[in-house]
Amino acid sequence: MTVQATRDSMLRCHCHHAEAGDVLDLLGVDPVVGLDRFEIEHRREQFGPNVLSEKKERSAWVLFLLQFHQPLVYILLGAGLVTALLNEVVETGVILGVVLVNAIVGFLQEAKAVRAIQALARGLSSETTALRAGKRTRLPSAELVPGDVVLLQAGDRVPADLRLLQARELRVNESALTGEALPALKDPAPVAPDTPLGDRHNMAYSSTLVSSGTGTGVVVGTGDATEIGRISQMIASADVLQTPLTRKIRAFSHRLLLAILVLAGLTLAAGLWHGHSLGEVFLASVALAVGAIPEGLPAAVTIIMAIGVSRLARRRAIIRRLPAVETLGSTTVICSDKTGTLTQNQMTVQRLAAGGQRFEVSGVGYGSDGAITLGGAPAAPEPGSPLAEILRCGILCNDAELIEVDGRPAVQGDPTEGALLVAAVKGGLDLNELRRAAPRLDEIPFDSARQYMATLHDTGAARPRVAYLKGSLESLLPRCRAALGPAGEEDLEPDAVQAGARALAGEGLRVLALARKELGPKQRELPLRDVADGLVLLGLQGMLDPPRPEAAAAVAACQGAGVRVKMITGDHLATAVSIAGRIGIDGAESALDGRELAALSDDELIARAGDTAVFARVSPEHKLRLVEALQVRGDVVAMTGDGVNDAPALRRADIGVAMGLGGTEVAREAADLILTDDNFATIEAAVEEGRGVFDNLQKFIAWTLPTNGAEALVVLLAILLNLGLPILPVQILWINMMTAVCLGMMLAFEPKERGIMDRPPNPPGAPLLNATLLGRIVLVSVLLCAGVFAVYEWELARGMGEAAARTSAVAALVFGETFYLFNSRSLTRSFLSVGPFTNPWIWLGVGLMTAMQLLFTYLPPLNAVFGSAPLDAAAWLLVAGVSLALSLVVGGEKWLRSLRRSQ
């Protein structure tokens, strides 16, 4: 095998299970010297720069032109062609204007994978320290090549995938990559080949952050060959699914286009059969097509969704793609990341066990709001008491600091140590005062082998020096000779202590033991032998990354609305199950970890995905598989997350939801919806708004189609019965455009109906219009058609001219639609029950439509353009009677259906 092939295979292999020496040999590098100049140049030619490849995207012009590749747009372009053939320049301009506006809006709202990849690439644009030719060299991360020896220290961003060679208390924050809230403690020792990403303690991955300690590693992956590079490729290759709305609109448009062509063909055949000239018959077919095309539908879809976007923005959610707002209303499953989404990503002490008592600690996060209580009553840490001493130990044996970032409480240092400081503040202790009163003299840093940290403090002249320790119970308990009780030191009961620790762990808490030992008053150093035994156990502190306070209510609301919530996290299984139980996720006890998931075939995963509520220790590929498995089951999947590891699944889901404050830029760029307050509860509001958007779309379509249906029926019946056209093609255009703008658009402002979150989601496979609405559309179309013919023939019978009769027919259709508009404010209830004045825009639209119709009737220039004529009072009374009758019939139909539902 050639050197190049060997190195390529090295980069493709899992270096975590190889000995560090073997990795160095395979990469051909001396860890003391590093690579030299010529070898670096050869490897840069071979492997390329340490940057992510950018996928070639469609040009802006191609993306813009693709906005016209939609069935509804084809229908509108057909309408424009028809009106152009009729030499109706104004109408043609209006229709083409509608098409152009929709294309521009779609183009501006298009979400591009390249933006997510560019965000990932920016994550690599930093500097790093490497050994080259035996010298420490500061260089741009992009210049690293496989085999470079990199030096890490606190605050560094890991510049490439590294196999660690040395680690001294090295902790790396990998939460954005793995979902693990706590920084991972690193150790160069090999691990098993099937070790999950989050447990590979001998690896440091590109774009993660060094929290503390120092380390040395050899580069084994750069650019696209890194873990974050694989995620970049998954983002680029993940399909962006059509939303339920776009699928339904497309299917509806295809059926509508087919129906228009069939009816137009039938009209043409009937006219020729009756002996009309080809020109006359063609114009009649054109009139039918113009009447049947809902010119206002694409604009209405865009406007209704845009209003939903505006409403969501007021509720702290930003939509990046318009159709996504409706998708929320159809969502059947929310796959939520845990860390930073359902939880606060801030370790918090919840329980204290000291002096034989168990204390509760309220409040969450790094803020000082909260208190320590015992049996519900405030517990004051009296000087020298077990409670005071365990808090004091947490302050002094601690390297973290409480700070503020952008006005919000934060921790500088290890989150676990930060949690100890916050607990002490809640107990009323002054951190600075205690540190001044007991300055640190020496320390034993935390070591993964020892599993504890110890510090030595001067507590005052002629007083014993005190060593404080914190660490795992397994490491400290064997070193303890006694425990601190209310009356002082008392006999240690190891079994009772371990039982208490198990109880805390059973609640999903991470348990930390704290102890002390008094030493000589002049001792200034702390050797390991002085803390090997003779300790006094102060107690236990149990902590976790707490759920957001509003998460439980939001989860309950979603589940009450028929939306299943699943937790998908990189954290440990026990922690994930505990958090899921705390926030009330249904079936939280049903869980899978990453290894179990990886062992499942695709079919097995599809079967298990529906019933499993918690997925832990999962990788980015696992998240992607889970989303795809749920979609195969027919679910509409919303994926929430804030980390780099969430981005591919966010892009593949029907709707991706990212966190705006705590989330990574990669996640925000891949998402459709961004929560500006990082609040899971905002998703509940978004689901509610999404359902409102879908309701208003249904209302508009159920209202507008009877107009088109009636106009098509009027033309078809006139040809079949060999009658004159009651309405001219140009008048049909007037009706369609004016009613859509003045009346139909007002339904976009319709407020959400009560009980919208008490019903299940819209079934993913359900058509845009159900059988009830289709029946109503047919009923209203027939009634409007009958009304138009009745008014037209009545006016001719009483001696009115054909222009006046057609004007009356137009008025009957317009005001029939106006009366029907009030019925359409609710698809199931009377418009009186939704409140006559809850949508003032409706009345504005009715007033505007009435004014326009009066101008159509009485203004001479419009009479000349549209072939209309003034009407007398008798004609208006007839129009009003026909319109009122239609409204009463529809109201009666809804009343009968409500009676049937209640039985």
Cα separation of 69 and 78, whole Å?
13
Closest by CA position to 145, among listed 207, 219, 90 = 219
Identify the DSSP state of 343.
B
End-to-end CA separation in angstroms for the chain = 79
- Residue 693 DSSP SS3: helix
Q: State how far the Cα of 295 lies from the Cα of 311, in Å rounded to an integer.
A: 26
CB-count burial class (<10 Å; 0-12, 13-18, 19+) for 61: exposed
Contact, 792 vs 813, CB < 8 A? no
* Residue 576 to residue 339: CA distance in whole angstroms: 9
CA 28 to CA 515: how far, in whole Å? 48
CA distance 795 to 585: 66
Rg of the Cα atoms in the chain:
36
What are phi and psi for residue 598, nearest 5 degrees?
A: -65, -30
SS3 of the chain: helix, strand, coil, percent, to 5: 50, 15, 30
Pairwise CA distance, residues 184 & 199, whole Å: 8
460's tokens: 């005052």
258: buried, middle or exposed (CB in 10 Å: 19+, 13-18, 0-12)?
exposed
Give the Cβ contact number of residue 681 at 10 Å.
Answer: 21
CB 435 within 8 Å of CB 396: yes
Give the three-class secondary structure for 360.
Answer: strand
| Spatial distance between the Cα atoms of 79 and 85, rounded to a whole number of angstroms | 10
The number of C-alpha atoms within 13 Å of 1 and in the hemisphere containing its C-beta is 9
| Rounded Cα gap, residues 807 and 804, in angstroms | 5
Contact, 673 vs 315, CB < 8 A? Answer: no
Q: How many CA atoms lie within 13 A of 574 on its CB side?
A: 9
| Nearest residue to 893 via CA among 834, 846, 824 | 824
Q: Tell me if 482 sits within 8 A of 490, measured CB to CB.
A: yes
- Residues forming the active site: 337
What is the C-alpha to C-alpha distance for residues 227 and 160, in angstroms, rounded to an integer? 9
Instruction: Fill in the amino acid letter for 388.
Output: A
The Cα 621–Cα 632 span in angstroms is: 16
Q: How do strand 203-204 and strand 161-173 relate by DSSP bridges?
A: antiparallel
Q: How many C-beta neighbours within 10 Å does residue 881 have?
A: 14
Whole-angstrom CA distances from 32 to 131, 145, 151, 155, 656 are: 8, 17, 11, 23, 46
8 Å CB contact between 740 and 296? yes
